[in-house]
């Protein structure tokens, strides 16, 4: 029965990871769902076949697909959240300093954690060709979860101040446009004055 309990545990962990993705991102992690479909097929085969050795093989295949679904869901969540972080940073552009000012010291801590998240994501890409990189889902979770949390906290910090932050950015953009108009008006006035002087002297 321990094998069956292992399958049940793996299934519930994968299911919870997929549910978390749906709650946090409103998206369905299709690769993870597909893995659960394969897991279901092998779990059903485990119930149907009669030979003990074959039962065990089908059960192990089902567990393996559950683990893969778990990894896929966790990495999907991390990639989606990190993508949102990048979109926030690109959207703010030269006005990112307002975000830093409004979040204080926590901004720099978040920034350091995002660097670690980026490195971890690079490791996920490498691990696709080396599945044994994480032999146990607990090990993967322990390493992945802090990076998921780091990205989530960054996005949450932005959402909490977005309205006020956007007002500051808009005001700054208006001021920048006004300053450019003044600058070019001044340059044009100087050029006109210079041309007038040259004509007068000529």
Strands (DSSP E) contained in 57-133 are none
- Residue 110: name the closest of 157, 76, 64 by CA: 157
Confidence (pTM): 0.73
Domain borders along the chain are: 2-201
CB 126 within 8 A of CB 57: no
Q: Name the pLDDT band for 69 (thresholds 50, 70, 90).
A: very high
What pLDDT score was predicted for residue 32?
93
pLDDT digits (tens, 9 = 90+) for 76-85: 999 999 999 9
Distance CA 201, CA 5 (A): 99
pLDDT digits (tens, 9 = 90+) for 171-198: 877 777 887 878 787 887 778 777 777 7
Distance CA 45, CA 58 (A): 6
* Percent of residues, the chain, with pLDDT higher than 90: 43
């Amino acid at each position: 029965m321990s094998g069956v309990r292992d399958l049940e545990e793996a299934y519930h962990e994968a299911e919870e990871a997929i549910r978390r993705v749906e709650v946090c991102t409103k998206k369905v992690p299709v690769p993870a769902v597909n893995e659960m479909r394969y897991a279901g097929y092998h779990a059903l085969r485990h119930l149907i076949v009669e030979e003990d050795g074959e039962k065990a093989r089908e059960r192990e295949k089902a567990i393996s697909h559950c683990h893969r679904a778990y990894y896929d869901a966790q990495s999907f969540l991390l990639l989606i959240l990190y993508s949102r972080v990048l979109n926030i940073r690109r959207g703010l552009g030269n006005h990112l300093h307002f975000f830093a000012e409004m979040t204080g010291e926590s901004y720099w801590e978040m920034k350091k954690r995002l660097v670690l998240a980026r490195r971890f994501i690079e490791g996920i890409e490498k691990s696709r060709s080396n599945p044994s990189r994480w032999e146990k889902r607990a090990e993967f979770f322990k390493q992945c979860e802090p990076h998921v949390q780091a990205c989530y906290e960054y996005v949450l910090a932005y959402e909490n101040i977005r309205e006020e932050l956007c007002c500051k950015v808009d005001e700054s953009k208006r001021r920048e446009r006004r300053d450019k108009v003044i600058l070019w008006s001044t340059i044009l006035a100087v050029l006109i004055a210079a041309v007038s002087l040259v004509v007068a002297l000529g």
